[in-house]
């Protein structure tokens, strides 16, 4: 007897970013040298003071269950971090620590969306949002943004997408996959519409420390009075502190939401790894010099990658203002042959680039933007140099 897959699970696609990264790893295991610009994860090691805190916690026997929603000391450190950086006012009872920001997003959607509710998702969007929204039974309503608008949601497009079923807006700032950043004024315009239509906003701010050109980050709940009551902020240590494997992320939400998420998590996973939670305390409370250093290195790489794209005739990309992605337009190259193979779509382009030149990227269609490709510049300068030499060769 074949066990039938549930309707909800049948509708969920695997993560394309992780799938491309797995393909690159498979080629590597076969002995190929692969230039991997697919997955978005810092190539730096986790700073040593953070690893030391984890080792100390382990040696001290802090290896047991913690409170399901996270250690009180960590929740305090998270609130202090947000309150001092942004002038918000969060209490530990509004914070839930989860197994990465991805899990925090799942918890946020699951706790708040009903089947049939509509959630507005500006495209290009990070691969997991649409699938996680669908898992809650709600409907992602994709709103296209344009390269000309820097891939940012305009107030007009936002308002036009609202129906009586709309409950939520998802805003990723800085954006994965486009690297675009909203100014405070742009956020105010969107926030006013959310308030006028009584919507709540999930603000994924996991890349808030990775901002370039001296720009100042505006955290969504701070842009209008009262917004904290209709916002769920998502953040974590994965990107800021090069801690992707430690699996610590969090949400900050109105107390009733945080309370329900705590209950859900106590049934689903219990606490996130106790050792990682001690490491996260050290990350948030320790010397922030490591973050500045990594950010500065990412900015250099951003400049380099933008210059390489600008030098390829027919390719374009808006300037990345934050995060570590560049999202480039490859439409001029579609319909052409490369190495005897006709390239019809962005997926063909990425697969042939991987097969022929051993450079891994992710197709824009996975982010709801066919005709584009995402490259992560969270890779060493040498890797980026060779990868872009090969991309230039591939395009002939």
> Residue 66's binding partner, choosing from ligand PMP, ligand GLU, none, with beta-carbon cut-off 5 to 8 A by kind?
none
CA distances from 58 to 54, 222, 251 (A): 6, 38, 26
Which residues inside 158-187 make contact with ligand PMP, applying CB under 6 A? 172, 176
Name the nearest CA neighbour of 264 among 65, 108, 72, 117.
108
User: Is there binding between residue 42 and ligand GLU (CB under 6 A)?
Assistant: no
Segment lying near ligand PMP (by CB under 6 A), choices 100-108, 251-259, 331-339, 356-364: 100-108
Please answer whether residues 302 and 212 qualify as being in contact, where contact means their C-beta atoms are separated by less than 8 angstroms.
yes
> Within the chain, what is the greatest distance between any pair of CA atoms?
61
| Residue in the shown chain whose Cβ atom is closest to ligand PMP | 100
E strands, the chain, are 35-36, 95-98, 118-123, 139-144, 166-172, 200-204, 231-236, 249-252, 325-329, 337-338, 341-342, 359-360, 362-363, 372-376
Decide whether 352 or 376 has the Cβ nearer to ligand PMP.
Answer: 376
Contact call for residue 236 and ligand PMP (CB under 6 A): yes
102 binds ligand PMP (CB under 6 A): yes
Under the criterion CB under 6 A, does residue 243 sit at the interface with ligand GLU?
no
- The partner in contact with residue 350, picked from ligand GLU, ligand PMP, none with C-beta cut-offs of 5 to 8 angstroms by kind, is none
Residues 166-225 that bind ligand GLU (CB under 6 A): 176
Cβ-based nearer residue to ligand GLU, 102 or 106: 102
Contact partner at residue 46 from ligand PMP, ligand GLU, none, CB < 5 to 8 Å by partner kind: none
Nearest distance from C-beta of residue 209 to ligand GLU, angstroms: 15
SS3 180: coil
Selection from ligand GLU, ligand PMP, none that 129 binds (CB < 5 to 8 A by kind) is none
172 touches which of ligand PMP, ligand GLU, none (CB within 5 to 8 A by kind)? ligand PMP
What are the helix (H) ranges across 60-173? 72-86, 101-112, 127-135, 155-161
**125 binds ligand PMP, rule: CB under 6 A:** no
CA distance 333 to 324: 24
Using CB distances below 5 to 8 A depending on partner kind, what does residue 18 bind out of ligand PMP, ligand GLU, none? ligand GLU
Does position 145 interact with ligand GLU (CB under 6 A)? The reply is: no
Quick one: which of 222, 281, 272, 253 has its CA closest to 94?
A: 253
Residue 218 CB contacts under 8 Å (≥ 6 apart), including other chains: 182, 183, 184, 187
Write the DSSP string, 4-57: PPPHHHHTPPPPHHHHHHHHHHHHHHTT---EE-SS----SPPPHHHHHHHHHH
If one asks whether residue 18 binds ligand GLU (CB under 6 A), the answer comes out as yes
Beta-bridge partners for 372: 329
SS3 content of the chain, % helix, strand, coil (to 5): 45, 15, 40
Residue of 154, 244, 316, 347 that binds ligand PMP (CB under 6 A): 244
C-beta of 35 vs 246, nearer to ligand PMP:
246
Binding site for ligand GLU (CB under 6 A): 15, 17-18, 39-41, 102, 126-128, 176
Binding site for ligand PMP (CB under 6 A): 40, 100-102, 126, 172, 176, 204, 206, 236, 238, 244, 249
């Amino acid at each position: 007897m074949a066990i039938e897959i549930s309707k909800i699970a049948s509708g969920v696609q695997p993560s394309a970013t992780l799938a491309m990264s797995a393909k690159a790893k498979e080629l590597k295991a076969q002995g190929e040298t692969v230039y991997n610009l697919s997955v978005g994860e810092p190539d730096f090691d986790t700073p040593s003071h953070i690893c030391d805190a984890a080792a100390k916690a382990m040696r001290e026997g802090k290896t047991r269950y913690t409170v399901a929603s996270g250690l009180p000391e960590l929740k305090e450190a998270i609130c202090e971090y947000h309150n001092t950086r942004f002038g918000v006012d969060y209490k530990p009872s509004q914070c839930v620590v989860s197994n990465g920001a991805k899990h925090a997003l799942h918890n946020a959607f699951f706790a708040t969306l009903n089947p049939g509710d509509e959630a507005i998702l500006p495209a290009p969007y990070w691969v997991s949002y649409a699938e996680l929204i669908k898992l809650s039974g709600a409907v992602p309503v994709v709103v296209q943004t344009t390269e000309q608008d820097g891939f940012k949601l305009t107030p007009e497009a936002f308002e036009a997408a609202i129906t009586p079923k709309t409950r939520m807006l998802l805003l990723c700032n800085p954006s994965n996959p486009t690297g675009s950043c909203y100014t405070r004024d742009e956020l105010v315009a969107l926030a006013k519409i959310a308030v006028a239509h009584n919507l709540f906003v999930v603000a994924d701010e996991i890349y808030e420390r990775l901002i370039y050109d001296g720009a100042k980050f505006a955290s969504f709940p701070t842009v209008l009075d009262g917004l904290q009551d209709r916002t769920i902020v998502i953040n974590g240590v994965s990107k800021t502190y090069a801690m992707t494997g430690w699996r610590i992320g969090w949400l900050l939400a109105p107390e009733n939401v945080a309370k329900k998420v705590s209950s859900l998590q106590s049934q689903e996973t219990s606490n996130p790894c106790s050792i990682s939670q001690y490491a996260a305390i050290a990350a948030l409370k320790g010397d922030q010099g490591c973050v500045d250093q990594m950010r500065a290195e990412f900015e250099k790489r951003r400049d380099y990658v933008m210059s390489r794209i600008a030098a390829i005739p027919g390719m374009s990309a808006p300037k990345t203002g934050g995060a570590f992605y560049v999202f480039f337009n490859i439409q001029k190259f579609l319909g052409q042959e490369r190495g005897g193979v006709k390239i019809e779509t962005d997926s063909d382009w990425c697969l042939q680039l991987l097969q022929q030149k051993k450079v891994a990227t992710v197709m824009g269609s996975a982010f709801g933007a066919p005709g584009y490709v995402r490259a992560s510049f969270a890779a060493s300068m040498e890797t980026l140099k060779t990868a872009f030499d090969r991309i230039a060769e591939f395009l002939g």
